[in-house]
Structure 1
Amino acid sequence: MNDNSSLIPMRGPGPMGPPPGEQAARGAALGMRPLVIECLHILRRRKWIILVVIAGALLAALVVTLLSRPVYTATTQVQVSRDENNVTNVQGVESENAGRDLEFYQTQYALLEARSLAERVARGLRLGENEDFWNAHGLDPETIDAAAVRTGQAADPRAAGDVRENAAVEMLLENIAIDPIRGSALVDVSYSSFDPELSAQIANAWVNEFIAQSIARKFDSTAEARSFLEQRLEELRGRVEDSERALVDFATARGIVTLASNTGGEGSAQFRERTLAAENLEGLNEQLIAATAARIEAEAIASGTGAAQTTPTLASLREQRALAASEIAQLSVQFEPGYPRLAALREQVATLDAAIAEEQSRIGGEAREALQSARLREAELRARVNGLSGEVLSQRRDAIQYNIYQREADTNRQLYDSLLQRYKEIGVAGVSASNIAVIDPAQPPQRPSSPNLILNLLLAAIAGSIGALGLVFVLEQSAEGVTDPSKVQELLGVPLLGSVPLVPEGDNPGELVADPKSEIAEAYFAIRSSLAFTTPQGVPRSFMLVSSQPAEGKSLSAMALALAMGRTGKSVLLIDADLRNPSAHSYLGTHRQFGLSNYLAGQDAVAELIQPVRENVDLLASGPSVPSAAELFSSERLRALVLRMAEQYDHVIVDSAPVMGLADAPLVSQAVEAVVFVAEAGRVSARGLNSALERMVAAGVPVVGAILTKLDQRSSHYGYGYEYSYDYAARSERLPVEA
């Protein structure tokens, strides 16, 4: 028997191999496939489950759609503007920019779904008493009343009406839908029921009540302001009356009579009232100034220096005398003094001089009389001005207090007028047009909105797909067996030597293994090739096949490997060490009348116990049944037999009993160089397989690899492995591997 240290241990520590954990990680990394390919493999492997789940979902959707009562949805489209049309051009209580907040539209949408609005609609349409409303939602109002009576909510008819109204409100809220149109100020208000006419009626009523509620809310928002202003106006009215009464009483007591009011410059806030005394003083002062001017003029006339000494008559007389004197001067040059004409002219000049003197005397007398009169008038006016000046000065001293009363009265009056104006403005501010406008009122729909067969089938397909994927995920996660060859290294910690397809039902596995052209034979040939790389010397000289439980394909694998090696020209001895349930003889068409049990019992003629079964392949059958196989394996005879046969044959293959529940396999493993673990795909959980491997590792013999049997060839999950293995096997037949 060869030294076991020459092998590369794949399970447990050994002198020539890396630790098991490192080997597992390395094997897992090599066996990893892209996640997309992994998912595609799972989907193809579980395709019937997925199809059944999706088909069930589609069938359920079809049945539900056909049995569902048609629902009609009516939609009213409204426009909710940020700025409202201000008809009165009067600012209201709320800020003009209040509607520009980012929360404006969200607030409007929430108000459209408010319970208070549903209550207004229910009361306005009297839905609690409307039998058509309940029928349009598939409800019986009597059932609601009975439920209210049972719960004690309706003890009298009025309470029963309230219960119906509350139920109608809940029904409205359940069936109303507010859908804003993105990027616009438009909102679709939709209502759904079994009655198209009722759906349109409620959708329109909902919008109308919303507009009415919005307008009412604006008026209500000014109620508190109007109440406050009314109180303040009442207070200011009393203060205005008191202040004006005090002003009049003071003016009466002090004899202050105001005539008119005047203001300061443009934009000035100053205000002043003129009294009767001041007005009289101003008039007398103007008359005094005029009288003084008249007296000065009269003095000038009286003194003869004034311009008033010359009158039109006097001027005419002086002009006539000047003409007559001029003519006398001319005639005196030509004629004698006694010339008649000169004498006449001299008489005329003397007459004119007398007339001028008389006129001057008359003017002087009148001037003296005017001067006297002007002096008397000036003195009289000055006396009266002096008297009024004292009175005005006294009133000016009283004007300080008078102005105090005046300002208080004016201030109170201004406050009162301002509040009264604001009160009137608030009263008309609500007349502004609503910022909500109906664009398209709801019309009774001609076709039902649901159930929608196409949409329901699409949703069912999506839900079925999600459910199917979830089910596949659960099945994959709950599957404890090893079903993926690429996961053998990761789950078991040993390398995968190869995978064997499931034998089609009705076929003889023994015949398929014996046929070199069959897929199973090619799979085992690929496994034989993988065994050639498990040790530096190639295929182990002696190895055993073991499984965790019976009927996992262990015996068939042992025979198939023996035949595959025999076809390469190697001499192989197959030993059936499964004394409890032998099957190698049946696969090879021989008997077990004698065999291993005879040798272990003491017969030394081994050659008589070996049966030639195929070219280069001999069989040592299990032999007759024995009462205690473990006792026979406890001796050194099996170890000595394997050592002797390894010298006569190129390879010795031992078919052992299952590991779990029996002590045979660990005992048999002491006689061979290596162990090959056989596991049926998906049958035994990974925990069970690891437990069996741990028992074999505890025996101290390296496990060089695992064979995954009975893989469903129809599943694409394993197709890649098959194609690779079979192609490799075909090339191996053309170029035999020496091991």
Structure 2
Amino acid sequence: MRKDLAMDLAPRSGEFDLLSYWKVVRERRWTILGIAGVIVAVVLVATLLTKPTYRASSTLQIERETIKVVNSDALASADSPYDRDFYQTQFELLKSRSLALRVIQDLNLINDPYFSGGAKPKAPGGPRAAPAAGDIRQREQALIGAVQGGLTIEPVSNSRLVRISFDAADAGLAARVANAYADAFIASNIERRFGASAYAKKYLEERLAELKGRLADSEKQLVGFAEKQQIISVGEGEPSLSAQNLSALNALLAKAQDERIRAEAQWRQANAGSGMGMPEVVDNALIQSLRQSRATLAGQYQEKSASFKADYPEMVQLKGQIAELDRQIATEVNNIRSSVNSRYGAAKAQEDLLARRIQLLKGDVLDLANRSIQYNILKRETATNQQIYDALLQRYKEIGVAGGIGANNISIVDRAEVPGGPYKPNLRRNVAFALIFGLVLGTLAAFLLKFLDRRIRSSKALEALTGRPVLGIIPKLEAGTTPAQASANARSPFSESYRSVRTALQFATPHGLPRTLLVTSPGSSEGKSTSAAELAHNIAQLGRRVVLIDADLRNPSLHKALGRSNAVGLSNVLAGAAEVSAALQDVEGAGFALITSGPLPPNPPELLGGDGLIRLLEQLSAQFEIVIIDGPPVLGLADAPLLASRAEATLLVVMADVTRSDAVHGALQRLSATHGNVLGTLFTRWDMRGDGEYGYGGYGYYQYGASDR
């Protein structure tokens, strides 16, 4: 977007400014209304000339699955009941060419006057000739596009309903076709289901016969291999006889090893020392009785040894009795030791026997395992064939039951009725849409024209374009009012605006009003001469000595506006043909002096570019406080840049709604090229009525306090 337009539509203070957009719409309102009116008129005429079209609709309910009378899964993949792909498939089937062809054939549409244009071919001079089959096929194929063109499939949102609509110029035909589509879709769906069942049944019959033979062959191979390898099955999942025996012998071997370990421990204890500490000895009652008797005799012997000598007969008798008891005890201990040794030998022999038997059984089990590899393969193959055969047989029976039930997952909710009125064209709707579209298009055109329009329409756009302040906004005068008349009223908006410009100029430089001020504009007739005269008048009202110079040596106007003679003026002074005092004229009632342009010279740039202008400005600056120069336009002439280089400051006058942004930009470039000091701009002939810029409410800002008191 161009910079000036962007500023026109820019928000104020960071807010979204709808007023700027409303201004564009209001300025281009006739363009918007004109475009809308043309579009409405075109649509209205087209609607009135359009042949009425009738729409009839039938409604179907499509379920994902049928009611399951038997526990039989669908032949298709069991997807989610809310699968969108399923319903999208149904909608596409409704739009298919095959279904359209079926409707054409069911209703015999090739002979319907609506599609045949009212012509019914007949044989010349006799009954109607029967068309060839190829011709009928071609005519049916040609009608498919026409039938599909009038068809509309509308899924009802958040439901399992779909609306089938058909548009035609014949209301009865629209209803017949809509109902025929519903009937044909249901019939084709049932046919597809029966076709799928029949195909599946035939396929399963072939597979069952094949699998039955394979199952018989695998069972024969399994039995033959078992007989050849002497493999006896003791049950499904049960180990073989050899494995069972090996397991039992392993348990017996573990028990024998435990008994041998205990017997070996007893044997080692019995062979270590006197053996008196063996549990069998300790627990033996005879040995304990003998030991007790010996202890008694030993006590007697010890007691009598104090009185008798060892060879005393009684002492010899006691000693013999003790020796006999020791012999008897040793005999009993040796018997117990022999018993322990025997048990240990028997336990070790049993363990060795079991170990040898287990070694033999291990070989048998490993040999059986090697021979069972092929047996297990044959057994698994037989089981797999049996499972597949049972599953296919079950499916075959289910399909046979389900195929004869005839359930359907599609039903008609509402049949199409003959419409009572046309569906289109809808005059109200078309006109409303045309009006809305026209207004939108007109609004877009208005903003496009605004974008293409390079005229400056607001002070904000001017300030953004130049990068310099707008020192004043001069309102547009009422029709028939001259600047002199407006200036005569001190309280008029025209006068107030120039006084505000004067105030702005008082703060434009560090020393106040510029001593030499050039007033120019990008083009002609933009109000620069009027502005120069008004500024001279308003500054003079401050009591300052002001001189106004008409430096437009090509098209001067101040002498006419102020009613002064132009016989001697600026051109005479610059050419050296007259003194400054001869060119000065007093403007009665205005309070400032005037130097008109004088006779028009053939070479204005040479006069303005010479030293005469510098000397003139020096003389006038010594005599007057403020020198205001009314210069020619900037563009296309070299005069204004020369004057800008001589003046202390330059004021660029821009006319609202007339001056183009590129003209202002070019003028600033030319003035900057000669080092002209452009203080700011002056926005003239601005129509403030109804404009909300700055929120002044039109002329009310300048008329504040203007009422009679």
Superposition TM-score, scaled by structure 1 size: 0.65
Per-residue CA distance 1:167-205 (angstroms, 9 max, x = gap)? 432223232222222222222221212111111111111
TM-superposed CA distance for 1:517, in Å, is 4.1
Q: Are residues 698 and 414 of structure 1, via their aligned partners in 2, closer, same or farther at CA, if it must alter by over 3 Å?
A: closer
Q: State the number of aligned residues.
A: 538
Q: Are residues 674 and 587 of structure 1, via their aligned partners in 2, closer, same or farther at CA, if it must alter by over 3 Å?
A: same
Match of 1:207 in 2: 182
Aligned residue among 561, 571, 593 for 1:587: 561
Match of 1:662 in 2: 637
Match of 1:612 in 2: 586
TM-superposed CA distance for 1:164, in Å, is 4.0
Aligned residue among 44, 67, 70 for 1:85: 67
Match of 2:513 in 1: 539
Q: Are residues 99 and 224 of structure 1, via their aligned partners in 2, closer, same or farther at CA, if it must alter by over 3 Å?
A: farther
RMSD (Å) for aligned C-alpha atoms: 4.0
Match of 1:511 in 2: 485
Match of 2:106 in 1: 124
CA distance in 2, matches of 1:158, 1:501: 87
Q: Are residues 414 and 475 of structure 1, via their aligned partners in 2, closer, same or farther at CA, if it must alter by over 3 Å?
A: closer
Q: Are residues 518 and 64 of structure 1, via their aligned partners in 2, closer, same or farther at CA, if it must alter by over 3 Å?
A: farther
CA distance in 1, matches of 2:507, 2:697: 20
Alignment of 1:427-576 (within 5 A): 427-430=400-403, 431-576=405-550
Counterpart of 2:65 in 1: which secondary structure?
coil
Match of 1:293 in 2: none
Aligned residue among 700, 705, 708 for 2:675: 700
Tell me which amino acid in the other structure corresponds to 2:422: P
Q: Report which structure shows greater RCO (CA 8 Å, sep ≥6).
A: 1
Indicate whether 1:626 and 2:601 are aligned.
yes
TM-superposed CA distance for 1:654, in Å, is 0.7
CA distance in 1, matches of 2:108, 2:678: 85
Match of 1:184 in 2: 159
Counterpart of 2:442 in 1: which secondary structure?
helix
CA distance in 2, matches of 1:676, 1:410: 109
Tell me which amino acid in the other structure corresponds to 1:654: I
CA distance in 2, matches of 1:700, 1:417: 106
Indicate whether 1:39 and 2:27 are aligned.
no
Q: Are residues 711 and 95 of structure 1, via their aligned partners in 2, closer, same or farther at CA, if it must alter by over 3 Å?
A: same
Match of 2:684 in 1: 709
Aligned residue among 393, 399, 407 for 1:426: 399
Gaps of 5+ in 2: 122-130, 222-234, 238-380
Counterpart of 2:91 in 1: which secondary structure?
helix
Counterpart of 2:418 in 1: which secondary structure?
coil
Tell me which amino acid in the other structure corresponds to 2:667: A
TM-superposed CA distance for 1:703, in Å, is 0.2
Q: Are residues 575 and 93 of structure 1, via their aligned partners in 2, closer, same or farther at CA, if it must alter by over 3 Å?
A: same
CA distance in 2, matches of 1:33, 1:674: 36
Counterpart of 2:582 in 1: which secondary structure?
coil
Counterpart of 2:167 in 1: which secondary structure?
strand
Superposition TM-score, scaled by structure 2 size: 0.67
Tell me which amino acid in the other structure corresponds to 2:196: S
CA distance in 2, matches of 1:512, 1:711: 15
Aligned residue among 144, 150, 161 for 1:175: 150
CA distance in 2, matches of 1:411, 1:615: 123
Contact (CA 8 Å) 1:574, 1:617: kept in 2 or not?
yes
Contact (CA 8 Å) 2:688, 2:698: kept in 1 or not?
no
CA distance in 2, matches of 1:627, 1:702: 28
CA distance in 2, matches of 1:29, 1:235: 85
Tell me which amino acid in the other structure corresponds to 1:473: F
Q: Are residues 629 and 97 of structure 1, via their aligned partners in 2, closer, same or farther at CA, if it must alter by over 3 Å?
A: closer
Alignment of 1:201-600 (within 5 A): 201-235=176-210, 419=392, 422-430=395-403, 431-600=405-574
Per-residue CA distance 1:9-66 (angstroms, 9 max, x = gap)? xxxxxxxxxxxx9xx99xx998987432321222222222222222222222322222
Counterpart of 1:608 in 2: which secondary structure?
helix
TM-superposed CA distance for 1:673, in Å, is 1.1
Contact (CA 8 Å) 1:85, 1:432: kept in 2 or not?
no
Q: Are residues 414 and 544 of structure 1, via their aligned partners in 2, closer, same or farther at CA, if it must alter by over 3 Å?
A: closer
Q: Are residues 459 and 141 of structure 1, via their aligned partners in 2, closer, same or farther at CA, if it must alter by over 3 Å?
A: farther
CA distance in 2, matches of 1:540, 1:33: 38
TM-superposed CA distance for 1:445, in Å, is 0.8
Q: Are residues 522 and 723 of structure 1, via their aligned partners in 2, closer, same or farther at CA, if it must alter by over 3 Å?
A: farther
Tell me which amino acid in the other structure corresponds to 2:57: T
Counterpart of 2:583 in 1: which secondary structure?
coil
Aligned residue among 86, 101, 109 for 1:104: 86
Q: Are residues 675 and 31 of structure 1, via their aligned partners in 2, closer, same or farther at CA, if it must alter by over 3 Å?
A: farther
CA distance in 2, matches of 1:539, 1:710: 24
CA distance in 2, matches of 1:496, 1:170: 68
Counterpart of 1:607 in 2: which secondary structure?
helix
Match of 1:677 in 2: 652
Counterpart of 1:697 in 2: which secondary structure?
helix
CA distance in 1, matches of 2:501, 2:12: 18
Match of 1:365 in 2: none
CA distance in 2, matches of 1:624, 1:205: 98
Tell me which amino acid in the other structure corresponds to 2:570: L
Q: Are residues 207 and 591 of structure 1, via their aligned partners in 2, closer, same or farther at CA, if it must alter by over 3 Å?
A: farther
CA distance in 2, matches of 1:525, 1:491: 25
TM-superposed CA distance for 1:69, in Å, is 1.9
CA distance in 2, matches of 1:632, 1:638: 8
Contact (CA 8 Å) 2:651, 2:679: kept in 1 or not?
yes
Q: Are residues 123 and 502 of structure 1, via their aligned partners in 2, closer, same or farther at CA, if it must alter by over 3 Å?
A: farther
Indicate whether 1:48 and 2:30 are aligned.
yes
CA distance in 2, matches of 1:89, 1:29: 71
Counterpart of 2:581 in 1: which secondary structure?
coil
Q: Are residues 699 and 412 of structure 1, via their aligned partners in 2, closer, same or farther at CA, if it must alter by over 3 Å?
A: closer
Tell me which amino acid in the other structure corresponds to 2:527: G
CA distance in 2, matches of 1:141, 1:45: 62
Contact (CA 8 Å) 1:597, 1:626: kept in 2 or not?
yes
Contact (CA 8 Å) 2:172, 2:418: kept in 1 or not?
yes
CA distance in 2, matches of 1:132, 1:206: 18
Match of 2:664 in 1: 689
Q: Are residues 411 and 706 of structure 1, via their aligned partners in 2, closer, same or farther at CA, if it must alter by over 3 Å?
A: closer
Tell me which amino acid in the other structure corresponds to 1:425: E
Contact (CA 8 Å) 1:597, 1:623: kept in 2 or not?
yes
Match of 2:318 in 1: none
Contact (CA 8 Å) 1:562, 1:574: kept in 2 or not?
yes
CA distance in 1, matches of 2:425, 2:661: 49
Contact (CA 8 Å) 1:526, 1:726: kept in 2 or not?
no
CA distance in 2, matches of 1:621, 1:197: 92
Q: Are residues 441 and 478 of structure 1, via their aligned partners in 2, closer, same or farther at CA, if it must alter by over 3 Å?
A: same
TM-superposed CA distance for 1:96, in Å, is 5.1
Per-residue CA distance 1:623-651 (angstroms, 9 max, x = gap)? 11111111111222223323333343342
Q: Are residues 416 and 679 of structure 1, via their aligned partners in 2, closer, same or farther at CA, if it must alter by over 3 Å?
A: closer
